[in-house]
Amino acid sequence: MPPTRHDRAYELDERGSGRPLPRSFFAQPTLTVARQLLGKILVHASPDGTTAGRIVEVEAYRGPRDRAAHSRGGHRSPRNESMYGPAGHAYVYLVYGLHHCLNVVTRAPGVPEAVLLRALEPIRGLSLMRTRRGGAAHPDWQLCRGPGVLCRSLGIDRTFDGRSLRGGRLRIVDAPGFAAPLIRRTARIGVDYAGPDAARPWRFLVAGVQAVSGKRIP
């Protein structure tokens, strides 16, 4: 397929390859990682084919003191154990028993912080994405719009929990030459239970992109 309007400076090769991001990228402060993930490419090279999209919306979750985080208060369980692991690994969880969500673990081991990937701008494998979505004729921009449909379109489930995102079938690669025209910050979505932490501006998105979840911000 031809590149999207944000993809003119960078295209994946036929295997969906690209330069992997170093561990030091993911080990930075979580808000820094969240902002810098915008524009990077998430790739899943599955046996069914390669799907990929540019990251255009994320949310940061900042550990025990963040009442919206799964690790709030130092909570630790088999479900969120991957949050305590090394930077650059996946934390995948299931919501309501229906939807998987993919997070990128940040910081040093033992510091349970992560960045939720909320939306992608699809750039590879759109037909396969539609098949995984049940074959409906979704517009391109709707295929990865929201964390649950993002995982469904890319075929991501709990089997990827704890795996490195720096190589292998599921990975995040660099996109040299990409420059977001404008990055916006807002409060996170769906965390009203977090009290004052719900208002923290830890959602980052590329302005003007139709693929972001919620209302598009110009």
Could you list the pLDDT tens digit for every one of the 218 residues in the chain? 333 443 333 455 544 457 889 999 999 999 999 999 999 999 999 999 999 999 999 999 999 999 999 999 999 999 999 999 999 999 999 998 889 999 999 999 999 999 999 999 999 999 999 999 998 888 999 999 999 999 999 999 999 999 999 999 999 999 987 887 799 999 999 999 999 999 999 999 999 999 999 877 87
30 in Cβ contact with 60 (< 8 Å): yes
| Count of C-beta atoms within a 10 Å radius of residue 131 | 15
pLDDT at 4: 40
Does the pTM surpass 0.85? The reply is: yes
CA–CA distance from 41 to each of 80, 154, 212 (Å)? 24, 12, 15
Domain 23-206 in this protein, CATH class: alpha beta
How far apart CA 53 and CA 125 sit, in angstroms, is: 9
CA–CA distance from 56 to each of 111, 121, 152, 212 (Å)? 25, 6, 17, 7
Q: Which residues pair with 1 in a beta bridge?
A: none
Q: Hey, which bits of the chain come out as E strands? A: 41-46, 49-61, 90-95, 99-106, 113-124, 170-173, 183-186, 203-206
Q: For residues 36-61, b (16+ Cβ closer than 10 Å) or e, as one string?
A: bbbbbbbbbbeeeebbbbbbbbbbbb
